[in-house]
Amino acid sequence: MATFSSIGDSTDPGFGVYVHWPFCAAKCPYCDFNSHVRHQPVDQPRFVSAFLTEMAEARRLSGPRTVTSIFMGGGTPSLMDPATVEAVLNGIAKFWHVPDGIEITMEANPSSVEATRFHGYRAAGVNRVSLGVQALNDRDLKFLGRLHNVEDALKAIGLARDIFPRMSFDLIYARPNQTVEAWEQELKQAVSYAVDHLSLYQLTIEEGTPFYGLHKAGKLVVPDGEQSAVLYEATQDITAGIGMPAYEVSNHAAPGAESRHNLTYWRYGDYAGIGPGAHGRLTMGSSKIATATERKPEEWLRLVEEQGHGMIDQEILGLDEQADELLLMGLRLKEGIDLVRWQSLSGREPDPDREQFLIEHGFIERLGNSRLRCTPAGMLILDAVVADLAC
């Protein structure tokens, strides 16, 4: 298990490297991540070479840094050959200082998992796996368009537990017709398979997805706000009850087992975003730049090969924008935000009337003089709380 020192603290948000693998074996009907299905084999060495080219540009922007975590996300990174993963990790170490033992996570789908590949990823340096289990009943897995069944999921969980020092898995709840009793039962089963970290997401109907069309046509009904709140609260109670409370809106861990990489995002640290559709935040002097790359994989490859990177946007964020982003990310965390840091960016105190109103209604609270956080009730209306404090 990770120690507290290895996950840093909010005054040291760290520097993460994110690498995006943009391909999946099939597109899930709820998903709006940058993931694409290709019926021809993907030229993995060509992607490796492009990743390394883009890393050189990110290194030019970031300057020398010590990496505190690496995350290979997707898409389905477990469609990468172990040799591809190894080459990507070796590439990162060419551009930045990568201390031994830092968290190196890879997302994996239960359907694309075999023991030999897992051993290969482990040998390449991956020490944490995040599995997209999504549901623990076959009917809902089918409804979610997944290629795996419960048996595959349990096999993948078992392998991940045996092979990697750390593992987590994702579930999606607030599915159509899901009762709180059914979810409680499924979650209790899930926690019995978990090691020390779980990501539990409420189903979001994303614009442009097949689920969005069905939802608009009234053919897919998800739990309403009140029912979602009941499901959310049951989730908090069960995970807290087994010592894996939420440390972020959707993420639950035993103390010390939090995802170091995701903490860097939420604590508004820096990260290099490599690959199609990846985002980055890099501090340069007193500025922070936001980078975004081309989303379409083949177009991204073309850009990288022609101009040395696939970045289509590099925006210098003003102090106000940085303060807003810090608030937006930091209030997702149970530890909340460091007010001194927020004030040094925004140049002001939180509006006293708004703050008082939110405190009196039980949505936020102060932790000593220097931290502000959402209460569990505030987490349920997080967007409104952020909007209130930001303006």
Q: Which residues bind ligand SAM (CB under 6 A)?
A: 30-31, 33, 73-74, 76, 107, 109, 132, 134, 170, 172, 201, 203-204, 206
By beta-carbon proximity to ligand SF4, the closer residue of 201 and 371 is: 201
C-alpha span between 49 and 46 (Å, rounded): 5
By beta-carbon proximity to ligand SAM, the closer residue of 57 and 103 is: 103
Half-sphere exposure of 257 (CA within 13 A, CB side): 23
Residue ranges in 113-132 that form contacts with ligand SF4 under rule CB under 6 A: 132
172 makes contact, choosing from ligand SAM, ligand SF4, none, with CB < 5 to 8 Å by partner type, with ligand SAM
C-alpha span between 4 and 255 (Å, rounded): 8
With contacts defined by CB under 6 A, name the span among 22-30, 148-156, 212-220, 256-264 that binds ligand SF4. Answer: 22-30
By beta-carbon proximity to ligand SF4, the closer residue of 57 and 140 is: 140
C-alpha span between 75 and 300 (Å, rounded): 15
Instruction: Note the Cα 315 to chain centre separation in Å.
Output: 22
Instruction: Indicate left, alpha or beta for 14 from its phi (over 0: left) and psi (-120 to 50: alpha).
Output: left
Instruction: Indicate left, alpha or beta for 365 from its phi (over 0: left) and psi (-120 to 50: alpha).
Output: beta
Name every residue whose Cβ is closer than 8 Å to that of residue 323 and which is 6 or more positions away in sequence: 342, 345, 346, 390
Quote the DSSP letter at residue 327.
Answer: H
Residue 27 binding ligand SF4, by CB under 6 A: yes
Decide if 104 contacts 128 (C-beta within 8 A).
yes
CB of 30 to ligand SAM, least distance (A): 4
- Which has the closest alpha carbon to 129: 170, 100, 80, 87? 170
Strand partners of residue 172: 201
174 makes contact, choosing from ligand SF4, ligand SAM, none, with CB < 5 to 8 Å by partner type, with none
Q: Which of 35, 53, 68, 239 binds ligand SF4 (CB under 6 A)?
A: 35
Strand partners of residue 132: 170
Quote the DSSP letter at residue 349.
Answer: P
Residue of minimal CB distance from ligand SAM?
Answer: 132
Name every residue whose Cβ is closer than 8 Å to that of residue 383 and which is 6 or more positions away in sequence: none
Q: Which of 8, 14, 16, 74 binds ligand SF4 (CB under 6 A)?
A: 74
Decide if 197 contacts 253 (C-beta within 8 A).
yes
Residue 250 binding ligand SF4, by CB under 6 A: no
Residue 36 binding ligand SF4, by CB under 6 A: no
Residue 75 binding ligand SF4, by CB under 6 A: yes
Kindly state the helix (H) or strand (E) to which residue 13 belongs, with its residue range. none
Residue 28 binding ligand SF4, by CB under 6 A: yes
CB of 79 to ligand SF4, least distance (A): 10
CB of 320 to ligand SAM, least distance (A): 30
CB of 30 to ligand SF4, least distance (A): 7
118 makes contact, choosing from ligand SF4, ligand SAM, none, with CB < 5 to 8 Å by partner type, with none
User: Which tokens in the block code for residue 99?
Assistant: 């201390």
Residue 24 binding ligand SF4, by CB under 6 A: yes
CB of 22 to ligand SF4, least distance (A): 9
By beta-carbon proximity to ligand SAM, the closer residue of 134 and 346 is: 134
Say which residue the tokens 């995802």 belong to.
259
Decide if 69 contacts 16 (C-beta within 8 A).
yes
For 118, 155, 159, the CA distances from 114, given in Å and listed in that order, are 6, 9, 8
Decide if 78 contacts 109 (C-beta within 8 A).
yes
Strand partners of residue 367: 371
Decide if 294 contacts 276 (C-beta within 8 A).
yes
> How many residues at the interface with ligand SF4, by CB under 6 A?
11
Quote the DSSP letter at residue 131.
Answer: E
CB of 29 to ligand SAM, least distance (A): 9
With contacts defined by CB under 6 A, name the span among 26-34, 95-103, 247-255, 362-370 that binds ligand SF4. Answer: 26-34
27 makes contact, choosing from ligand SAM, ligand SF4, none, with CB < 5 to 8 Å by partner type, with ligand SF4
Contact flags string 265-304 toward ligand SF4, x per CB under 6 A:
----------------------------------------
CB of 206 to ligand SF4, least distance (A): 10
Under the rule (CB under 6 A), what is the footprint of ligand SF4?
A: 24, 27-28, 31, 33, 35, 74-76, 109, 132
